[in-house]
Structure 1
Amino acid sequence: MDLNVLKKTILYNKHIQLGAKMIPYSGFYMPLQYISSLKEHMAVRKSVGIFDISHMGKFILKGKDSHNLLQYLTINNLSNIKSGQAQYTCLVNTLGGIIDDLIIYKISKIEFLLIVNAINIEKDKKWINNYIKNKKLKFLDLSQEYSLLSIQGPKSISSIQKLTNIPLSKIPFYHFEIGKFLDIDKILISRTGYTGSKGVEIYIHNKYTEYIWNNILNIGTFSNMIPCGIASRNSLRIEMGYRLYGQDITEKITPIEAGLSWITKFNKKFIAKKILKKQKIKGTYKKFFSFFIEENKIPRQGNLLKNKKNSIIGKVTSGCFSPILKKGIGLGFITKNKLDKKSIFISIREKKIPINIVKFPFIKI
């Protein structure tokens, strides 16, 4: 990775001032951690933490045919949500592979906000524009103009409620409101997040970002809020079994293989519908699953999974130490015809260690 072309969020200097360790991530310099990933993880589970996730892509699709286009390009059913709601979904290619997973916010009947993974901004933009034939359909990439802050944890809503006239506790999960935050109008606040804990995400124009970040941190001192980096965000999402693009899901993996059948709706027309429906009915060769290790070992991306005969039957796509469970947990794929829950081992430094397959999420919030 060329460090000279890495982008910086508008809060880069603030992260440096706060002592963050910065690393390259998805084409950006991002804070890995501030105090420690363990303390940041526990803050989100027990109290509240704030993340700068402004690296995420932010698109606006607006026009009379915007709904119909998104219905065709994504696998979930956009007709199931109303204005003021959000939906988790995937863009897929013509073979059913996942181009990206994203969240769509329905601003109105003709306007949608798309939040995509930073690493896929250019790819997604090109893919969507390839299908825009109607000149009245407007596509805007606002990724570099807007920031995104995520306040997560059981005290997240109470810690920032004084800063807005929007009744945050009344916003249902995967819904959003647009209103005043501090003295700034038209701020979008959503009840979403990538941690599994209660939380909100705030979309802000760059010119207000530092002002809002500072005010949130200042008022957050009363609830022990701390800034958190991508290391804790990663362990938090693994505890919930959330997929990470580029590791758990790629263009070589379909939503059915990735265990995302629940967002794949076949009561509408969309790209690769026939392929995915066939997989849904007949099953797939690869199966996404979650596991933990009883031994004092931590699974990592790329660790091989083997059977009793030492044959490779899969691999780990994500792994970490769970601060809540106090053991190693992981996500990965295994060949379905060799799925014997009692005879699967992980290879760590040439040692075969038995794993325990469990359903995700690993913890109940």
Structure 2
Amino acid sequence: MEGKKTPLYDEHVKLGGKVVNYAGWLLPVQYEGLVPEHNAVRNEAGIFDVSHMGTINITGKDAVAFLDYLMTNDISKLKDKQIVYTFMCYPDGGVVDDLLVYKYNEEKFFLVVNASNVDKDVDWLNQHKKDFDIELENVSENTCILALQGPKAKGILQKLTDTNLSEIKFFYLEDNVKINGINTMISRTGYTGEDGFEIYVNNEDVVKVWKDLLEAGKEEGLKPTGLGCRDTLRFEAALPLYGQELSPEINPLEASFKFFVKLKKESDFIGKDILTKQWEEGLSRTLVGFELLERGIPREGYEVYKDGNKIGHVTTGYMSPTLKKSIGNALISIEEKELGNEIDIMIRKRPVKAKIIDKNFLKNK
């Protein structure tokens, strides 16, 4: 199997990880199994290697203006050390990528982008540098990321650092954090719907930090966790996956993420005119959650019908490990979006009854 390896590749193999090629990277889809790993994150803690994600530095006196022109969220409102989730859009409103923007200060920002989109994102950013006084540096190759997630994550990480983790608010960063003497940047962020931290560390130090965390979390039930449960966890928590809920063809308004699209912010951003027009005139389709009423498991791409007419398609579907029922997201005609509305999911050419439910499947997360 060909693909790029993170510095933790050998550790994954030693731990029995089932390695697959994901976005050109050789990464573990699971170790012990998707369900026990999923449950560990919901109830204790799990640790993911997400070093395949892209990381980009943006520095310079026009950094805020540049990012506000590229991003749908309002970068000018960020405080130092605050983090925001946002989209970069094409002029037609389609999504270039969804990403996190970390603000160190007015002239220093850090972007975390999807692994499959790194080259495209760097090209897009470079295309729009124009007269902005900024420097752009793709540091993806030198940066490893560990995601420690779950209700016991803070207690485990606290054993290894003198930094008071309770003082780091949700969606804030702290830099120069020593983990057993190794310098890191950490953020109180994640992709699971649980409390947790993402740890940014140099390639040469990541194996030690990984091992130290696993050792520190032994008694708390910390498990190494793979891409399989990363997807089920984010889906249960109503978090989107680029290429499924969002894409060049599916814009953030259609995907029900209007909150992160600041149509009234002072600065223009790429795609603002089209998205504003669409919002004012009314959407033709929207993302909904659904629950199967009959046996079956919905999958990405399955067609959705109502009264014999095709109204959309499934973007993500699973047997939910937490809820223990078959649920999914679907992009459908907006006229059919009402909660409780019955629809049919075509599973192996057979219509399976489902009903529309709130896509925030985990109400307490």
TM-score normalised by L of structure 2: 0.96
In structure 2, the residue matched to 1:312 is 310
The 8 Å contact of residues 303 and 312 in structure 2, kept in 1 or not, is answered as: yes
Where does 1:1-365 land on structure 2 (aligned, <5 Å)? 3-4=1-2, 6-134=3-131, 136-178=133-175, 179-185=177-183, 187-266=184-263, 267-268=265-266, 269-308=268-307, 310-339=308-337, 341-363=340-362, 364-365=364-365
Using the alignment, how far apart are the partners of 2:166 and 2:355 within structure 1? 37
Q: What residue identity is the alignment partner of 1:199? A: G
Using the alignment, how far apart are the partners of 1:354 and 1:104 within structure 2? 40
Q: 1:134 to 1:205 in 2, by over 3 A?
A: farther
Using the alignment, how far apart are the partners of 2:139 and 2:235 within structure 1? 29
The 8 Å contact of residues 85 and 174 in structure 1, kept in 2 or not, is answered as: yes
- Structure 1 runs (4+) deviating above 3 angstroms are 337-341
The 8 Å contact of residues 173 and 188 in structure 2, kept in 1 or not, is answered as: yes
The 8 Å contact of residues 101 and 245 in structure 1, kept in 2 or not, is answered as: yes
Using the alignment, how far apart are the partners of 2:239 and 2:356 within structure 1? 16
The 8 Å contact of residues 60 and 141 in structure 1, kept in 2 or not, is answered as: yes
How far did residue 350 of structure 1 move? Answer: 2.1
What are the ranges of 5 or more consecutive residues in structure 1 without an aligned counterpart? none
Using the alignment, how far apart are the partners of 2:77 and 2:240 within structure 1? 23
Q: CA RMSD in A?
A: 1.3
Using the alignment, how far apart are the partners of 1:104 and 1:92 within structure 2? 15
How far did residue 354 of structure 1 move? Answer: 1.7
Using the alignment, how far apart are the partners of 1:360 and 1:29 within structure 2? 31
TM-score normalised by L of structure 1: 0.96
How far did residue 328 of structure 1 move? Answer: 0.8
Using the alignment, how far apart are the partners of 1:136 and 1:84 within structure 2? 22
Using the alignment, how far apart are the partners of 1:291 and 1:135 within structure 2? 45
The 8 Å contact of residues 329 and 359 in structure 2, kept in 1 or not, is answered as: no
The 8 Å contact of residues 252 and 261 in structure 2, kept in 1 or not, is answered as: yes
Task: Name the SS of the counterpart of 1:362 in structure 2.
Answer: coil
- Tell me the number of residue pairs that the alignment of Structure 1 and Structure 2 aligns: 360
The 8 Å contact of residues 298 and 328 in structure 2, kept in 1 or not, is answered as: yes
Q: 1:135 to 1:98 in 2, by over 3 A?
A: closer
The 8 Å contact of residues 237 and 360 in structure 2, kept in 1 or not, is answered as: yes
The 8 Å contact of residues 294 and 327 in structure 1, kept in 2 or not, is answered as: no
Stretch of structure 1 that moved more, 330-339 or 279-288: 330-339
The 8 Å contact of residues 159 and 222 in structure 1, kept in 2 or not, is answered as: no
Q: 1:257 to 1:135 in 2, by over 3 A?
A: closer
Task: Name the SS of the counterpart of 2:346 in structure 1.
Answer: strand
Using the alignment, how far apart are the partners of 1:362 and 1:213 within structure 2? 31
